[in-house]
Every structure is written in structure tokens, then in C-alpha cells.
């Protein structure tokens, strides 16, 4: 029987880490992720876990310690946000190229400058091509559940890649919600023990980690890395099915909300999906056929599945909480439109909205405006500019 609790997103994620009981956690505080290692350090102090907690002098050192510990054969976790993830930059690529299944709580926050400690997705979106699996979480419950599943996915023999669980800073990380926790013993059984095949402390198999990898080899190693990311899609679904058997909570590559007959759809990540669902219910009562696709898995990107979900819509808005600053739309928009082109789903008209930058509030009225814009496109055939901003002043 599950344990009903009231926790913030950071508390929920820290409790998931406690239940997993990793070998090593190395972290440096940065708002709004600071609470995750803070809560976890209390579990270390009171003996709830036997984890080696490594307080370091910077995020670069945190990820370096994680790489060292994971290379040695340990189960390793960390947490960061925004500029902390940026400071890890060199080492997050090393973690993925060495195929180390490190799990990170990425509490989404705007990357400076100018300085802003509030939520957008510029940190994790900046790392979208770094070779890390990325799971996104609408609620505290989803952040907790994704964290419980993360090690099973990352450590799978066909994957062996690092994974970040992303959730919105302050909106999810600090807000308290009702949540259902899994019993400790069931989490332990579900996650299982980690037994790496190759690791530095294995005296029976002396190996080197991270040697010089020049022209005859690097391309093939990057191909293998890409193949592992493709494999992750099936592993995510497999682990999610087992998680559903354990808890009754169902997760896929993405969530569809009232898409069965939708003529207009919004595609959006994380907590804004909740605002969109409320707006959809209100507009459905007015007779508008509106729906939502909320990606849970952004890396690997579910190309054909997303295209299949959206192909029958007449107009689609992709909402990005990060701007690629390329003059041609945000990262989620680029991947969605690429997926639809690749899959031959070329019927719907697709527009992009950059929104919520630096924590700019997004209300139901804003979401309603997007749907009315889509209705205008359907009625007139006039797309106007496909690259738009939502909620700008003036």
C-alpha cells in the first residue's frame, strides 16, 4: 500500500534518492536545486543511507567526482540547476561518452545572464545534445516517479548512459503537493542492485577510462553512443510498464490529453501542461476541439510517435520555455517539426511560441489565446509568422 504524503518536488526527489541509496552523491548548492542535496545530506547524517556524500567546491568538481565514482563501479547521483549545469559542461560530455549511468536531478532555471533564479528550460535545453537521456516532469509525483525509474533505465545493459530528471524550479521544486510514495522495500526491489560489467576497481579486468580516441575510433564510438540513445526508448517503455504494475501509475514517452478528436493541439513540457489541461477543459465546454501533447521523454526524442499523435490536427502550437536564439524557433519546436517532416505528417500548420522566460507567469488566458490563434489559422489559412512570443509586455 502506497504512503500518502505532502512534499515539495525537491523533498520528493530527495526521498527517492534515499530509497535508492546510491553509493555516492556529489553535489554543490545552487538555487533552486540546493534543497535536494541538503535534504539528502540529512539522510546521510542520520544513517538512513550509507551513501558517501561528497561536498565539493563547484559543480565542475561535482560532476568530476560523479564521473570518478561511476567509473569505479558505483551507483552515483547528483543535482543541479542553471549555471551549475553550465559549469559542469566539459564533464557532462565526458560522462555520456564514457557511458556512465549517472542520474541527475536537473531543477530547471534560467541560465545567466542577466542573473535570474527563476524557471525556464534554458539549462537542460542547452544540454540536449550532450548525450544525456532527459525525462521531464509536470508534477511532484512525476518527478518522484521518474527518479525511481531513472537508475533502471540508465543502468540497463543496452543503454548505459547518464540521465537527467528535469522539473520546474520553484513551480514544482518548492511547491507542496499531495504525493504517493512507494514503500522503501518495494523501491529497493524495483531498482535492484547495480552490478556494472566494466569498471576501474575490477582487479580481474584492468582497463583505462577516457583514453585518447583519434581518427580510427571516435566515429564508431559516437555511433555506439547514438545507438544506446535509440535503445533507451524501448528500455524506458519497458521500465515504465513494470512501474505501472507496481504502482498503477502509467507513463509513456509522452502524455496525450483529449487528443482523440482534437483539431488544435499544444505541445509543451513540464508544469505548464497542468495550466493547459485546465484551459482545455474550459474550451471543450465551449465546443472547441482542443488537446495537448506533453512529452515526458525529450532525449531520445520519440520522432514517429509524436508525429502519429499530431498528424490529424489542423493546427499545432509548440510552446518552448527556452529560445534557441537562432531566429527560427525554440528547441522543442525544431524537434517536433523535424519529426513531422521525417514521418511525412505534413498536413497540420505548426507555429512556435517562446514563453515563460526567466519565470514569466503563464496564465490560463495566455494558453487560451494560443488556442484562439490556432482557430484563426484554421479558419483563414493565414499562419502569419510561425515564430512568436507569448506574454511579452507592450
Asked whether residue 31 is assigned to any structural domain, the reply reads yes
One domain, residues 270 and 230: no
- pTM for the model stands at 0.98
Q: Which of 230, 247, 264 is where one domain is finished? A: 247
Q: What is the pLDDT of residues 296-323, one digit of tens each?
A: 999 999 999 999 999 999 999 999 999 9
Asked whether residue 394 is assigned to any structural domain, the reply reads no
Statement: residue 166 has pLDDT above 80: yes
Q: What is the pLDDT of residues 91-123, one digit of tens each?
A: 999 999 999 999 999 999 999 999 999 999 999
Q: Which residue has the cell 543502468?
A: 155
Q: What is the pLDDT of residues 178-206, one digit of tens each?
A: 999 999 999 999 999 999 999 999 999 99
One domain, residues 215 and 292: no
CATH code, 334: 3.40.50.920
> What is the count of structural domains for the chain?
2
Statement: residue 1 has pLDDT above 90: no
One domain, residues 240 and 262: no
One domain, residues 46 and 109: yes
Q: What is the pLDDT of residues 220-274, one digit of tens each?
A: 999 999 999 999 999 999 999 999 999 999 999 999 999 999 999 999 999 999 9
Asked whether residue 356 is assigned to any structural domain, the reply reads yes
| pLDDT (0 to 100) of residue 304 | 97
Tell the burial category of 45 from Cβ atoms under 10 Å away from its Cβ (0-12, 13-18, 19+).
exposed
One domain, residues 187 and 229: yes
Mean of the per-residue pLDDT values for the chain?
A: 97
Spacing of C-alpha 157 from chain mean position: 21
Q: Is 20 left (phi over 0), alpha (psi -120 to 50) or beta?
A: alpha
One domain, residues 243 and 258: no
One domain, residues 223 and 265: no
Spacing of C-alpha 390 from chain mean position: 23
One domain, residues 180 and 34: yes
Q: Which grid coordinates belong to 335?
A: 524537434
Q: Which grid coordinates belong to 177?
A: 503537493
One domain, residues 202 and 334: no
One domain, residues 188 and 134: yes
Average pLDDT for 327-339: 97
Q: Which of 229, 247, 265 is where one domain is finished? A: 247
One domain, residues 148 and 70: yes
Using CA atoms, how far apart are residues 132 and 142, in angstroms rounded to an integer? 19
Structural domain span for residue 54: 3-247
| pLDDT (0 to 100) of residue 394 | 74
Cα angle 121, 126, 127; round to 5: 110
| pLDDT (0 to 100) of residue 2 | 83
Q: Is residue 266 within 8 Å of residue 371, measured between CB atoms?
A: yes
Statement: residue 164 has pLDDT above 90: yes
Cα angle 12, 241, 298; round to 5: 65
One domain, residues 142 and 265: no
Amino acid at each position: 500500500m502506497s504512503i500518502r504524503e505532502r512534499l515539495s518536488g525537491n523533498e520528493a526527489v530527495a526521498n527517492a534518492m534515499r530509497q535508492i541509496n546510491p553509493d555516492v552523491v556529489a553535489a554543490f548548492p545552487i538555487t533552486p536545486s540546493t534543497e535536494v542535496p541538503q535534504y539528502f545530506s540529512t539522510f546521510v547524517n542520520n544513517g538512513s543511507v550509507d551513501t558517501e556524500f561528497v561536498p565539493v567546491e563547484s559543480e565542475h568538481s561535482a560532476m568530476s567526482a560523479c564521473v570518478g565514482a561511476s567509473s569505479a563501479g558505483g551507483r552515483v547521483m547528483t543535482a543541479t540547476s542553471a549555471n551549475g549545469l553550465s559549469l559542469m559542461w566539459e564533464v557532462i560530455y565526458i560522462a555520456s561518452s564514457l557511458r556512465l549511468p549517472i542520474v541527475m536531478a536537473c531543477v530547471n532555471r534560467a541560465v545567466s545572464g542577466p542573473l535570474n533564479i527563476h524557471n525556464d528550460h534554458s539549462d537542460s535545453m542547452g544540454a540536449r545534445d550532450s548525450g544525456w537521456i532527459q525525462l521531464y516532469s509536470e508534477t511532484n509525483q512525476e518527478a518522484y516517479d521518474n527518479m525511481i525509474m531513472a537508475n533502471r533505465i540508465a543502468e540497463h545493459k543496452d543503454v548505459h548512459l547518464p540521465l537527467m530528471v528535469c522539473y520546474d524550479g520553484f513551480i514544482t521544486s518548492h511547491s507542496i503537493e499531495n504525493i504517493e510514495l512507494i514503500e522503501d522495500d518495494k523501491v529497493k526491489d524495483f531498482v535492484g542492485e547495480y552490478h556494472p560489467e566494466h569498471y576501474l576497481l575490477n582487479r580481474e579486468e584492468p582497463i583505462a577510462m577516457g583514453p585518447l580516441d583519434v581518427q580510427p575510433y571516435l566515429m564508431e564510438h559516437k555511433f555506439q553512443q547514438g545507438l544506446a540513445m535509440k535503445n533507451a526508448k524501448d528500455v524506458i517503455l519497458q521500465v515504465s510498464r513494470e512501474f505501472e504494475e507496481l504502482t498503477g501509475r502509467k507513463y509513456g514517452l509522452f502524455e496525450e490529453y483529449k487528443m482523440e478528436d482534437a483539431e488544435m493541439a499544444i505541445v509543451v513540457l513540464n508544469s505548464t501542461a497542468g495550466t493547459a489541461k485546465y484551459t482545455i477543459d474550459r474550451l471543450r465546454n465551449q465546443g472547441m476541439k482542443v488537446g495537448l501533447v506533453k512529452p515526458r521523454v525529450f532525449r531520445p526524442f520519440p520522432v514517429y510517435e509524436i508525429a502519429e499523435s499530431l498528424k490529424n490536427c489542423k493546427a499545432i502550437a509548440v510552446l518552448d520555455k527556452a529560445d534557441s536564439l537562432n531566429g527560427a524557433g525554440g528547441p522543442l519546436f525544431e524537434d517536433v517539426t523535424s519529426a513531422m517532416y521525417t514521418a511525412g505528417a505534413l498536413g497540420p500548420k505548426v507555429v512556435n511560441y517562446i514563453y515563460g522566460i526567466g519565470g514569466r507567469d503563464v496564465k490560463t488566458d495566455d494558453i487560451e489565446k494560443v488556442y484562439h490563434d490556432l482557430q484563426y489559422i484554421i479558419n483563414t489559412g493565414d499562419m502569419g509568422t510561425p515564430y512568436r512570443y507569448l506574454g511579452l509586455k507592450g
